[in-house]
């Protein structure tokens, strides 16, 4: 690419591709410039530094993965919005694992499009009659739970490891599949032989979100 045709958008797009394939550790201005076929210093005419670039990348990913609007004539409850957010975010994190880390850092996570996603959830929680600050705390609780549940699905990619991807060496896996486990705590005896589906990631996510929502509803009822 000729430097005269270099744009901020092309830099951000290429940076996302680099982060997707090589992780945040592999993201550098030099690597981005090499992919674009330009000098590294030319990038700084469009982005001031790597921090600004990461913020732009994160918000661009939010732009590409918005929370949807309901079909015409349909209205989604706040509980439905919570589960839709889980579907969108988990797919996003699996497609762009580095975003899970970027969203955990406030200086990268609240650009214009990220704020629209927050507003989408806050608007839903408004049904409970809470003020904006309380609705925002509820949204953060939901996001934190979704990211925590998704972390096991992308952790191998984040640390750039390839061995033991299925957790074959895990004592918990051995316990669930009915194998003998040394020094097994008595409280976990009921898990023996239950099968891996007993702690399926999607089941953990959905049941946890339902419990979280029940807690929100109970707080609203008491208020």
- Residue 200 and residue 146 in one domain: yes
- Residue 155 and residue 187 in one domain: yes
The dihedral of CA 7, 11, 12, 14: what is its sign?
Answer: positive
Angle ∠(76,81,82) on CA atoms, nearest 5: 150
The dihedral of CA 145, 146, 147, 149: what is its sign?
Answer: positive
pLDDT tens-digit series, residues 99-153:
999 998 888 888 899 999 999 999 999 999 999 999 999 999 999 999 999 998 8
Q: Is the pLDDT score of 170 beyond 50?
A: yes
DSSP state of 128: G
- Residue 117 and residue 23 in one domain: no
How far is Cα 48 from Cα 109, in angstroms, rounded to an integer? 18
- Residue 70 and residue 105 in one domain: yes
Nearest Cα neighbor of 54 from 9, 88, 15 is: 15
- Residue 120 and residue 32 in one domain: no
Percent of the chain residues past pLDDT 70, beyond the cut = 91
- Residue 28 and residue 79 in one domain: no
Half-sphere exposure of residue 212, counting CA atoms within 13 Å on the CB side?
23
Residue 104 token pair? 């955990």
Q: Looking at the domain assignment, is residue 52 inside a domain?
A: no
Q: Is the pLDDT score of 199 beyond 80?
A: no
User: Domain with 11 in it: what CATH number?
Assistant: 1.10.10.60
Q: Looking at the domain assignment, is residue 57 inside a domain?
A: no
Q: Looking at the domain assignment, is residue 214 inside a domain?
A: yes
How far is Cα 85 from Cα 68, in angstroms, rounded to an integer? 9
Confidence label for 1 from pLDDT (cuts 50, 70 and 90): low
The dihedral of CA 15, 16, 19, 22: what is its sign?
Answer: negative
- Segments forming the whole domain that contains residue 32: 3-47
- Residue 7 and residue 74 in one domain: no
Q: Looking at the domain assignment, is residue 180 inside a domain?
A: yes
Helices 132-158 and 112-125 sit at what angle, rounded to 10 degrees? Answer: 120
- pLDDT (0 to 100) of residue 161: 46
Number of domains the chain is built from = 2
pLDDT tens-digit series, residues 4-32:
689 999 999 999 999 999 999 889 999 99
Backbone angles phi, psi at 184, to 5 degrees: -70, 125
């Amino acid at each position: 690419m000729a430097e005269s045709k270099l744009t901020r958008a092309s830099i951000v797009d290429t940076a996302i591709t680099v982060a997707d394939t090589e992780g945040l550790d592999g993201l550098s201005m030099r690597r981005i410039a090499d992919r674009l076929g330009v000098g590294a210093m030319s990038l700084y005419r469009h982005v001031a530094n790597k921090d600004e670039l990461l913020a732009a990348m994160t918000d661009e990913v939010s732009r590409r993965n918005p929370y949807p609007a309901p079909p015409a004539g349909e209205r989604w409850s706040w509980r439905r919005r919570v589960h839709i957010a889980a579907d969108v975010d988990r797919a996003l994190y699996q497609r762009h694992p580095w975003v899970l880390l970027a969203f955990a850092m406030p200086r990268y996570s609240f650009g214009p499009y990220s704020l629209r996603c927050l507003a989408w959830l806050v608007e839903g929680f408004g049904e409970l009659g809470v003020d904006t600050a309380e609705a925002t705390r509820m949204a953060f609780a939901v996001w934190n739970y979704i990211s925590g549940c998704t972390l096991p699905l992308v952790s191998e990619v984040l640390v750039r490891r390839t061995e033991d991807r299925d957790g074959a060496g895990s004592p918990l896996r051995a316990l669930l599949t009915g194998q003998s486990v040394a020094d097994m705590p008595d409280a976990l005896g009921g898990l023996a032989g239950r099968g891996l589906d007993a702690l399926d990631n999607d089941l953990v996510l959905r049941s946890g979100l339902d419990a979280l929502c029940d807690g929100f509803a109970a707080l609203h009822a008491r208020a």
